[in-house]
Amino acid sequence: MKQSKHDSVKKRLRERDEQTNKPQHQSIETLGDFARRTGQDQDIGRDQNPAAPASSPKESTAHTRPLPRTPLSDIKFSKNTSNMGALRAALRLSDGFWISLVILVSIWNGYIGVNNKEVIAPLAAGISGALGFLASLYLIKAYRFSPTETYGEHLKTVALGSAAALGAWLSIALIAKPDTFLPDALAIAGLWATGALLIVHSVYYIIIKRKHERGDLIPRIIMLGATETARRLIEENARSRELQILAIFDERLSRAPHDIHGVPVVGKIEDMLNWDALPYVDRIVVTLPSMARDRRRTFINQVRKLPNRIAFLVDEFENLNHVQQRVSDIAEISMREITGKPKPGYQIFIKRLTDVTLSGTALLFGAPVLALIAVLIKLDSPGPVLFKQKRQGFNNRVFDVYKFRSLKVENEDKDARSQVEAGDTRVTKIGRFIRKTSLDELPQLINVLKGDMSLVGPRPHAVGMHTGNVQTYKLVEDYAHRLKVKPGLTGWAQINGSRGPLHSGEDVARRVQLDMEYIERSNFIFDISIMLKTLPCLLGDSENIR
C-alpha cells in the first residue's frame, strides 16, 4: 500500500510538472539531470523511499566531470530587513487616522442636518466610519500587498473595500440618526475618505514595491537537503514569489546536483554554520522527506541551537496527527515550525514605535546631562568620550554599541576577555560613578534609534566575551536562543539580579534562562513594567558591580 501510495504521489507530481509554467530561474543542471548523468536515479529515490534498492557500481554509467560548486561568497542578497507585518500595522494606523480626520472635518464644516448643535453623533459617526473602512479593507485583503499584485489591482481592491464600507456606513447612520445627518453630506465625507485612502495606499504601494524589488521584505531562506521536496518548494515559489531561496546545503554532495532550478547546491552543513551571511538568513528549512527520518533528525539537531527560525517541510507521507509544533504554509506547502515563533506584526510595530519615541525624547531632553557627563569624562582622564565595541545583536548580527568610556584608555578591553570586577583598577574615577548608576549606557539610546537595539531585551554581549577562560557562548547549549530578538538597554534578567559580570557557567545559564523567559512573555505592558523597575537602578546598585 505504501508503494502504491508513493506511485500515486509521483504520478500527481508528474501531472503537475507538465502543467507548470516556465520556472523562475533557468536550471544549469536539475536534480533529475544529475541523477541520469551519474546513474544515481535510485540513490536519490532512496531519500523518498529507503526501501528502493541502491544502484550497483556495475550499472552506473561513466561520470562526466561535475560542474564546480558555487562559492558562498558569490551568493549576493540585500541584508536590509523590513517586517511586512509591522508595515501593515503602520498602514492600518495611518488609514484610521486619515479616515477619521477627513470624516470629522467634513461633518464639522456644516455637514450636520437639522440638529447642528449635537456633538456625540458626529464623533460616533467618525469613529464608526473609520472602523468600518478598516474592517472592510482588511476583509477584502487590501493589506496583503502580494509581490504579484499590480498597482491597478491594488487600487481596485481599495476602491471596492471603500465602496462597501461607505454603503454600510450611510445605511447605519441614516437609520440610527435620520434627523441628524444629510445623505449627500455623508456621501461627500465618505468620498473624501476614499480619496485619502487611495493616496495613502498609492504611496505605500510604491514604498513596498521598491522594498520587494530590493529583497528587504521577502523572507530569506536556505534549505538543507537537495531532494524532491526541495524541488517542489522551489517550483511553488517560482509561482508565488514569496521567498528568496538563497542556497541548498547537503551532506551528500557527491550525489547532489549543481543546482535545482537555478538555486545552487553550495556545500555541507559545516559550510553553512561557518557562513558569515548566516545571521541575515530568516529561516532554515529542512527539506528531507519523512522517510529519511534519521537524516532529518540529525540535520535538525545540528541547527536547532542557532537563533534562526528552523522548520521542516511536510510531505505527502507525513502523519499530521498529534502535531505539537506549529504548522503553517510556506509557498503553499505545509511546514512544521521547530524553533522561532514569530511575533505578530502589530507587536513589532508597537515596540519599534515605542523605541523611537522614547529614545528620541530621552536624547532630546537628556542632552544637557549627556554633555555634562562627556565633559567630566574628558576632565577625568585622557582619551575619547565614547567607547565603541562589537556586540552580538538580533540573529547574531554584529553591530557597534556606544557607551561612555569608563576605563582608562590603555586598559580598554574591546574583546571582553576580562570582565570588570569590584575594585577593578582599570576603571576611572568618573567611570565608577557612571557604571554604578548605569549612566555609561545612555549613548546606547543612539543604537535604539538606529534600530540595532530596543529599549527592553536581553543585554548584548561583546563578541568574543569570556567567562573564566572559556568563551561565554560555549557554556550553555541554548545560548544563541537569547539572540532571537533585538538586544535591549535593560531587560528581565537585569531587574531580577542577573546584572554585571558572569563568573561561572551557572551565572550564564541563569542569564540565558531569564532572557528566554522575557522572549516568551514579551509584550508592550511587560516592557513598560521592566522599564519602570529599572529606574531605581539609576540611583545606584550595591549588589551588582558593573
Q: What letters, b where the CB count within 10 A reaches 16 and e where it falls short, cover 145-158?
A: beeebeeeebbebb
Quote the pLDDT of residue 392. Answer: 92
Share of residues in the chain with pLDDT > 70 (%): 74
Q: CA-CA distance, 343 to 438, in Å (whole number)?
A: 30
Do the Cβ atoms of 267 and 72 come closer than 8 Å? Answer: yes
DSSP 184-251: HHHHHHHHHHHHHHHHHHHHHHHHHHHHHHHTSSSPEEEEE--SHHHHHHHHHHHHH---EEEEEE-S
pLDDT computed for residue 203 by the predictor: 94
In DSSP terms, 221 is beta-bridged to 245, 283
pLDDT per residue as tens digits for the range 227-270: 888 998 899 888 888 889 999 999 888 888 989 999 999 999 89
Between these two residues, 537 and 202, which has the higher pLDDT value?
Answer: 202
Residue 487's identity, in one-letter code, is: P
**Residue type for 457, please?**
G
pLDDT at 199: 94
Mean pLDDT throughout 429-434?
89
Q: What is the pLDDT of residue 46?
A: 42
State the chain's maximal CA–CA distance in angstroms.
Answer: 96
Pick the CATH number of 2-52+218-339 from 3.30.420.40, 3.30.1330.10, 3.40.50.720, 1.10.10.10: 3.40.50.720
Average model confidence (pLDDT) for the chain?
A: 79
| pLDDT given for residue 55 in this prediction | 41
Nearest to 94 by CA among 203, 208, 200, 207: 200
For cell 530568516, the residue is: 282
Confidence (pLDDT) at 447 = 96
In one-letter notation, the amino acid at residue 209 is K
**Cα distances (angstroms) measured from residue 227 to each of 2, 29, 248, 256, 434:** 19, 14, 10, 8, 57
CATH 3.40.50.720 maps onto the chain at 2-52+218-339
- pLDDT tens-place string over residues 466-523: 888 888 888 998 898 899 999 999 999 989 988 878 888 899 999 999 999 999 999 9
pLDDT number for residue 294 = 85
Q: What is the pLDDT of residues 160-201, one digit of tens each?
A: 999 998 888 778 766 766 665 666 777 777 888 899 999 999
Higher pLDDT, 215 or 163: 163
Average pLDDT over residues 428-441: 88
Q: What is the pLDDT of residue 442?
A: 94
Average pLDDT on 4-22 reads: 49
Is the model more confident about 124 or about 449? 449
pLDDT in tens, 366-399: 999 999 999 999 998 888 999 999 999 999 899 9
DSSP annotation of 147: T
pLDDT, tens digit, for every residue of 281-311? Answer: 999 999 888 788 888 888 888 888 888 888 8
Residue type, 128: S
Q: What is the band of 70 on the pLDDT scale with cuts at 50, 70, 90?
A: confident
Burial of residue 248, with CB atoms counted within 10 A of its CB: 0-12 exposed, 13-18 middle, 19 or more buried: buried
pLDDT tens across 77-133, in order?
888 878 888 888 999 999 988 888 887 777 666 554 444 556 666 667 677 778 888
| The pLDDT value given to residue 450 | 94
Instruction: State residue 420's pLDDT score.
Output: 65
At residue 59 the predicted structure's pLDDT band, cuts being 50, 70 and 90, is very low
Our separate counts of H helices and E strands in the chain read 16, 14
